[in-house]
A and B are shown apart, each in its own frame.
Chain A
Amino acid sequence: MRWMLLKDLQILRRSKLLVGLLVVYPVAIALLIGFALSSGPEKPSLAFLNQIPGSQSTIRLGGEKFDVDVYTDQLFDAVDRIDVENREQALEKVRSGEALAALIIPPDFATKLSSGGFNAANVEVVYNGDALKQSFVESTVESKLALADAALARQISQVAAGYVKIITVGGEISALGQNFELLGLTRANKLLDEALEDAPPEIARKLAPVQRFASLGVANVGRFNDVLSTVERPVEVTETVLSGRRTPLDTFAVALAVAVSLMFVCVLLASGLLALEREENTFSRLARGLVPGGWLLAGKVVLAAACAFVVTLAMLLGISAFVPLDYGRAALWIVAIAASAIAFATLGVAIGSLAREVRAASLLALMLALPLAFLALVPSGGVSPLLYDVIRVISALFPFKPALDAINNAINGADANMLVALAHLAALTLAFGGAAYWGLRRFASG
Chain B
Amino acid sequence: MSADAATAAPALAVRAISKCFEERQAVRDVSFDIERGELAAVIGPNGAGKTTLLSILAGIQQPDEGSAAQPDGTTARIGWVPQQTAVYGKLTVAQNLRLFAKLEKVPDADATVERMLEQTGLAERADDELGRLSGGNRQRVNIAVGLLADPPVLLLDEPSGALDPRQRERLWGFITALTERGTAVIFATHDIAEAERHAHRVLVLADGELLFNDTPAALKSAANAGPDDDLEQAFVGFLRERGH
Contact present for B86 and A282 (CB under 8 Å): yes
Please give the distance in Å from A277's CB to the nearest CB on chain B.
Answer: 9
Contact present for A11 and B100 (CB under 8 Å): no
A284-B60, A284-B86 as given contacts; A290 in contact with B55, CB under 8 Å: no
A291-B103, A444-B61 as given contacts; A11 in contact with B86, CB under 8 Å: no
Q: Give A residues with C-beta under 8 Å from B.
A: 3-4, 6-7, 10-11, 14-15, 280-291, 444-446
Contact present for A14 and B90 (CB under 8 Å): yes
Please give the distance in Å from A269's CB to the nearest CB on chain B.
Answer: 15
15 A-B pairs in the complex with CB atoms less than 8 angstroms apart: A3-B102, A4-B103, A6-B99, A7-B95, A7-B99, A10-B95, A281-B84, A284-B60, A285-B145, A286-B103, A287-B60, A288-B80, A289-B76, A290-B104, A446-B21
A288 / chain B contacts, CB cutoff of 8 Å: 58-60, 80
Interface centre among A15, A280, A287, A444 (most CB of B within 10 A): A280
Q: How far is the CA of A11 from the CA of B92 in the complex (A)?
A: 10
B114 / chain A contacts, CB cutoff of 8 Å: none
Q: How far is the CA of A15 from the CA of B60 in the complex (A)?
A: 29
Please give the distance in Å from B147's CB to the nearest CB on chain A.
Answer: 13
- Whether B85 sits at the interface, judged by CB under 8 Å, is yes
B84 / chain A contacts, CB cutoff of 8 Å: 281
- Whether B129 sits at the interface, judged by CB under 8 Å, is yes
B103 / chain A contacts, CB cutoff of 8 Å: 3-4, 286, 290-291
Q: How far is the CA of A285 from the CA of B88 in the complex (A)?
A: 12
Count of chain A to chain B residue pairs whose CB atoms are closer than 8 Å in the complex: 59
Please give the distance in Å from B146's CB to the nearest CB on chain A.
Answer: 8
Contact present for A7 and B91 (CB under 8 Å): yes
B95 / chain A contacts, CB cutoff of 8 Å: 7, 10
Contact of A282 among B55, B61, B76, B87 (CB under 8 A): B87
Contact of B90 among A3, A4, A11, A291 (CB under 8 A): A11
Given contacts A285-B86, A285-B145, could you give 17 more A-B pairs where the C-beta distance is less than 8 Å?
A3-B99, A7-B91, A11-B91, A14-B90, A14-B91, A281-B85, A282-B87, A284-B86, A285-B100, A287-B60, A288-B58, A290-B104, A291-B103, A444-B60, A444-B61, A445-B61, A446-B21
- Whether B121 sits at the interface, judged by CB under 8 Å, is no
Interface residues of B in 64-103 (CB under 8 A from A): 76, 80, 82, 84-91, 95, 99-100, 102-103
Q: How far is the CA of A6 from the CA of B98 in the complex (A)?
A: 11
Interface residues of B in 94-128 (CB under 8 A from A): 95, 99-100, 102-104
Contact of B55 among A3, A11, A284, A291 (CB under 8 A): A284
Contact present for A281 and B82 (CB under 8 Å): yes
Please give the distance in Å from A356's CB to the nearest CB on chain B.
Answer: 12
Q: How far is the CA of A11 from the CA of B85 in the complex (A)?
A: 17
Q: How far is the CA of A137 from the CA of B58 in the complex (A)?
A: 73
Contact of A280 among B60, B80, B86 (CB under 8 A): B86
Contact present for A280 and B104 (CB under 8 Å): no
Please give the distance in Å from A194's CB to the nearest CB on chain B.
Answer: 109
Q: How far is the CA of A288 from the CA of B57 in the complex (A)?
A: 10
